[in-house]
């Protein structure tokens, strides 16, 4: 089981990402303090470190430099959206990749698997999701439907991945939002409904004319399992 050391002071996000990573087969250790995280990195038990840039007491860039002096463990940086300076600094100081926050848990897992695969880790194998005629490649973030490439936006892929991992089950909209976008759904937020509508059009209808994605008003959505 690959071990992820997650260093981030955002406790709500850390809890969400930890739960998702564990469901994906990772062992997770967390730290809200960069200095404590560095101590955890020193024992070299982690297969990859996910490190937030913006933290109190010691920022992620300083922590990155110290961890790099300890060894060559792969490091994925979490940066503020649109902050090119942090991204460039992180890469220059030895980060393997970065993800802009807010990020979806699915995207984070895909980046982690890709980094491990490039590093030659035995844990980098891609976990392909196969539900009937639907095939999702989370690491490459590509999809196939009925034997043909399925063109999806990033948000659409995130949502369809959540539904595919729970095929045949009702997934509450709040759960979809947290897993697909890494944040809670706010009142009157219709973004999930809009993305679902687009995915439905791309999948087409079943033989009886119904959608492959069922909706239960006020509750959530369900990907039909009998594909």
pLDDT digit string (tens) for 64-103? 999 988 888 899 999 876 667 777 777 888 888 888 887 8
Residue range of the domain that includes 46: 3-118
- Cα gap 155→107, rounded to integer Å: 10
- Cα gap 189→10, rounded to integer Å: 23
Q: What is the CATH number of the domain that holds 158?
A: 1.10.10.10
Report whether 126 contacts 72 (CB < 8 A): no
- Cα gap 91→46, rounded to integer Å: 20
Residue 124 maps to a domain: no
Per-residue confidence (pLDDT) for residue 5, from 0 to 100: 93
- Cα gap 176→199, rounded to integer Å: 14
Is 0.75 surpassed by the pTM of this model?
Answer: no
- Cα gap 30→44, rounded to integer Å: 15
Report how many domains make up the chain. Answer: 2
The reply to whether 93 and 186 lie within a common domain is no
Report whether 7 contacts 51 (CB < 8 A): yes
């Amino acid at each position: 089981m690959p071990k992820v050391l997650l260093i981030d002071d955002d406790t709500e996000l850390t809890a969400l990402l930890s739960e998702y990573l564990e469901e994906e087969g990772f062992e997770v250790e967390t730290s809200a303090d960069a200095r404590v995280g560095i101590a955890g990195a020193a024992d070299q038990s982690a297969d990859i470190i996910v490190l937030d840039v913006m933290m109190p007491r010691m920022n992620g860039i300083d922590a990155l430099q110290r961890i790099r002096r300890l060894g060559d463990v792969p490091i994925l940086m979490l940066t503020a959206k649109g902050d090119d300076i942090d991204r460039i600094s992180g890469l220059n100081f030895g980060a393997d990749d970065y993800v802009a926050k807010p990020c979806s848990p699915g995207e984070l897992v895909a980046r982690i698997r890709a980094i491990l695969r490039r590093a030659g880790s035995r844990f980098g194998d891609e976990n392909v999701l196969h539900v009937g005629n639907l095939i999702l490649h989370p690491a490459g973030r590509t999809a196939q439907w009925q034997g043909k490439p399925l063109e999806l936006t990033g948000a659409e892929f995130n949502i369809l991945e959540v539904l595919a991992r729970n095929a045949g089950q009702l997934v509450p909209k709040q759960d979809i939002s947290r897993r697909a976008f890494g944040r809670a759904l706010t009142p009157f937020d219709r973004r999930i409904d809009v993305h679902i509508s687009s995915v439905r059009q791309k999948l087409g209808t079943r033989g009886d004319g119904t959608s492959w994605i069922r909706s239960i008003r006020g509750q959530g959505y369900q990907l039909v399992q009998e594909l």
